[in-house]
Amino acid sequence: MALSGALAALLLVGPSHGYELHATLEAELGSTWVTRPAQVYLTLGRMHRDGLVTSERIRQETRPDRQRLTLTNVGREAAEEWLWRGPTDELVVRLAVARLVVPHQMSALLDAMINERTAALHRLRAARAEDAGGFREEAHDAEIRLVEGQLRWLEGLRPHLDEIVARPRVRPTDERAAELA
């Protein structure tokens, strides 16, 4: 869901085309979250098939035609659901995309993520206290440590949130990006 959620969320600000969406993700996240153009286009095709986006062909004189993508109402709901209640292993991507599309809601989104991770931590600790035998305790310990790390990272963002939101949007800088943009 990460890629389709991220693409849908990027479209919350308005229509775009596949290359621009890919370039935005690549520019914002760099090597921490690698997507290939082929993955983006396959995912956009599935999103179109599933009724999340519509497309309009934009003719270009010197380049191949582009497909301008627009969210449907169903796509808008899916994008908002992903931003606010998406998978916890996608926290970084969700916040990176939110910074671009809903900067005015970053504080509320961060609070929601912290609340969700805190509740998960309480559930894990309760489950660990009840489990005995096998490798259950160690497995719960591993999950607890992961959630504690996520919480430390999320809490560490809070003092810098205004600065993070105010950072300019990163634009692709290579010659190919400039040529295709």
What pLDDT digit, counting tens, does each position of 25-69 carry?
999 998 888 889 999 999 999 999 999 999 988 777 887 778 899
Give dist(CA 181, CA 172) in Å, integer: 9
pLDDT at 58: 79
Dihedral pair phi/psi, residue 47, rounded to 5°: -65, -40
pTM of this prediction?
A: 0.87
Dihedral pair phi/psi, residue 66, rounded to 5°: -115, 155
What tokens appear for 75 in the block? 């796509």
Per-residue pLDDT band for 176 (boundaries 50, 70, 90) equals: very low
Give dist(CA 29, CA 26) in Å, integer: 5
Residue 89 CA from chain centroid, whole number: 10
Q: Is 151 exposed, middle or buried (0-12, 13-18, 19+ CB in 10 A)?
A: middle
Quote the number of domains for the chain: 1
What pLDDT digit, counting tens, does each position of 108-125 carry?
999 999 999 999 999 999
Per-residue pLDDT band for 10 (boundaries 50, 70, 90) equals: very high
pLDDT at 155: 97
Could you give the C-alpha distances from 179 to 19, 38, 127, 173, in angstroms and in order? 11, 19, 55, 10
Dihedral pair phi/psi, residue 64, rounded to 5°: -60, 155
Please check the confidence at residue 181 and state whether its pLDDT lies above 60.
no
User: Quick one: which of 61, 42, 57 has its CA closest to 4?
Assistant: 42
Q: What percent of the chain has pLDDT over 90?
A: 76
pLDDT at 118: 98
User: Quick one: which of 155, 178, 4 has its CA closest to 87?
Assistant: 4
Indicate which CATH number applies to the domain containing 107.
1.10.10.10
Per-residue pLDDT band for 18 (boundaries 50, 70, 90) equals: very high
- Domain enclosing residue 112, as ranges: 2-180
Per-residue pLDDT band for 80 (boundaries 50, 70, 90) equals: very high
Alpha-helix residue ranges (DSSP H) falling in 86-160? 91-101, 106-130, 136-157
